[in-house]
Amino acid sequence: MKKLSTLAFGALLMGATPASLAVAEQARPSLTGKPYTGPTELDTTLPRDYANDLPDLGDIAQTVLSPQDEQRIADQIMRQVYVSDDVLQDPEITDYLQALGNKLAAASPDKRQTFNFFVVNDNSINAFAMPGGVIGVHTGLFIAANNESELASVLGHEIGHVTQRHLARMLASQKYDTFKNIATTALALLVARSNPQLATGAMVTASASTMQRQLDYTREHEREADRVGLAILDNAGFDVRAMPAFFTTMQRGTRFVEGSAPSFLRTHPLTAERIADVSNRVQNLSYKQSKDSLDFYLTRAKIRASLGFPQSAIDEFEDNIRERRFNSEIAEHYGLAYAYLRKNDMANSAKQLAWLKANATPHPNIETLAATIEMGNRQLAKAQAIYSQAMTQYPMHRALVYGYADSYVNSKQPDKAVKLINEKLRLFPNDGHLYEILAKAYSMKGQTLLRHQAQAEAYYRQYDVNRAVEQMELASKAKDGNFYERSIVEARLKELRRQQGIEKEQKG
C-alpha cells in the first residue's frame, strides 16, 4: 500500500499507461466487486425544463476524449485507487457509497455510463469526478452531511459533471490531439480536485500556465451539474431541498473565516447566484419526504469512530447518548462500539453490542461487529458461528465474507477458506480481494500453481495487467498442478499477454 504523493503523481503523469479497453470490456470490476447494473424501476427521465436548460454538447467532447479514452483513463485511476493508503478500504463504507451512487446513477440522463465510487480518508469536505465515471468522496463530506439527501445532492452534482462530460469539454477547449496529452491533463485535474495542495507539483509534467486556468469548473459547468444533479435527486426520490440547504450551510460556515472554505467550494465555485438558481428550481418541484436510511447513519458513525484519538471519539459518542443529541440512537451506540474497539476495550464494546441486539432491528453491520468483537477476544469458534449464521441471511454482505474467509486463514484452516471463497466467487466474480485471500490459503496449502494463479486474477481485477501476467507466468512454471489446472493457466496466460500487448500499443 502507498500514498499518492506529489512525486508519485508526477511519475504517474509522466508515464501514464491506461489499462486496455479490452480489459475493461471483458471484466469491468467496481470497488464493490460487483458490476454496475442499477435499479430499473426508477423514473430516469429528465423533467422537460431541465432538458431544455442544458446545452447541446454536439461533438466537441467526442473530438478529443471519446468514451473509450475516458474508460482507459478511469482504469488507470482505479489501479491507483487499489494501492493507495489514502483510499478507505472498509467494504461496508464503500459498499454503502456504491449502492447510493448506483441509485442516483440509475436516475441520471446517461444510461450507458457506469460509475465507480470510492472513499478518500480525508477530513476535508470534498468530492470530485474524473473521466470514465470515477467519483471520489472524502470522509469529511459524510461528517458534514446532516442527512442522506444532502450527501446524495453532492453525489448527484458529481454525476452531473460526468454525464455532461465537463472534463472532456475542458480538454477540448485546449485542443489536445494525442491520448498521452489527454491522459496527462486529465490526471493533473484529478490531483487538483482531490488535493489542491498537490496540484503545483503534479502539473510540472503538463503546461502549468494553461492548466492553472483549468483547475476549477466554470460557472457554466457548475450550473449544468446543479441542474442535472437536482433532476437526479428528484428522480431518485430524495429531498431536493437538500441541495440548496447544504450549499448554504457550507457558505455560511466559512463566510467570515479567510481561507477556510471547504475543498468542495474551492474546486466548485459557489456563488449566491448559483444558490438562488437552485433554490428557485426547487420551488417548482413537488415536495418529497425522504427518510434517511439506517445504513447512512451507521456508515457515518463508523467514520466518526475512526477519527482522532479513540478516547476522544468515545467521549463524543457517550456525550451524545447522555444528552440525547442524535438523529439515530442506534448509530451512536454502534459508533461507540467501534470507538471502544479502537481502544481494544472489548468488554465495553460488547456492552454496546448487547444494547444493539436488544434495541436495533437485525442488520448485517451489527453481525460484522459481533464477529469482530469475538475475534478480538480470540473466541474463534464463536466468531465463525456468527459469520456462518449471518451469511445465510446476508449472503451479499462483503464484510461478512471477508471476515469469515480471513478467520479460516488466520486459524490455519486453508481448506475451509478455499471452499468458502470458491463458493463466494460465484457471487463476486470480479472481487480482487477475495482472490488475494485465496492466494494466501493456497500458499498455506503449499499449492504453488494455484497460489500464483489466484494472485494473478487479483491483479487483473485491480486493473494491473502487467503484474497479472507476471504471476500467471510463475503459475505456468510451477511444478505442481494437474493437467486440467495447467491447461487453464496456459490459456489464461495467453489471454493476459494479448491484453498486455493491447496496452503496449496504446501506450506507444
- What pLDDT, in 10s, does the model give residues 137-150? 999 999 999 999 99
User: Is pLDDT at 274 greater than 80 in this prediction?
Assistant: no
The rounded distance, in Å, linking the Cα atoms of 285 and 169 is 30
Per-residue pLDDT, 429: 95
pLDDT band with cut points at 50, 70 and 90 for residue 265: very low
The rounded distance, in Å, linking the Cα atoms of 152 and 150 is 5
> Cell digits for 301?
458513525
Per-residue pLDDT, 268: 58
DSSP 133-168: TEEEEEHHHHHH-SSHHHHHHHHHHHHHHHHTTHHH
User: Is pLDDT at 186 greater than 90 in this prediction?
Assistant: no
- What pLDDT, in 10s, does the model give residues 428-454? 999 999 999 999 999 999 999 999 999
- What pLDDT, in 10s, does the model give residues 395-424? 999 999 999 999 999 999 999 999 999 999
Which residues have a Cβ under 8 Å from the Cβ of 461 and sit 6 or more positions away?
27, 29, 430, 431, 432, 435
pLDDT band with cut points at 50, 70 and 90 for residue 215: very low
Q: Where are the domains of the chain?
A: 6-17+47-283, 294-507
User: Is pLDDT at 14 greater than 50 in this prediction?
Assistant: no
CB 391 within 8 A of CB 401: yes
Domain 294-507: CATH superfamily is Tetratricopeptide repeat domain (1.25.40.10)
Per-residue pLDDT, 110: 85
User: Is pLDDT at 95 greater than 80 in this prediction?
Assistant: yes
User: Is pLDDT at 27 greater than 60 in this prediction?
Assistant: no
Per-residue pLDDT, 410: 93
**What would the mean pLDDT of 241-248 be, rounded to a whole number?**
88
What is the rounded average pLDDT for all residues in the chain? 79
User: Is pLDDT at 44 greater than 60 in this prediction?
Assistant: no
Residue 84 main-chain phi, psi, to 5 deg: -90, 130
User: Is pLDDT at 231 greater than 60 in this prediction?
Assistant: yes
Pick the range with the lowest mean pLDDT from 94-103, 146-155, 270-279, 312-321.
270-279
- What pLDDT, in 10s, does the model give residues 343-356? 999 999 999 999 99
User: Is pLDDT at 60 greater than 80 in this prediction?
Assistant: no
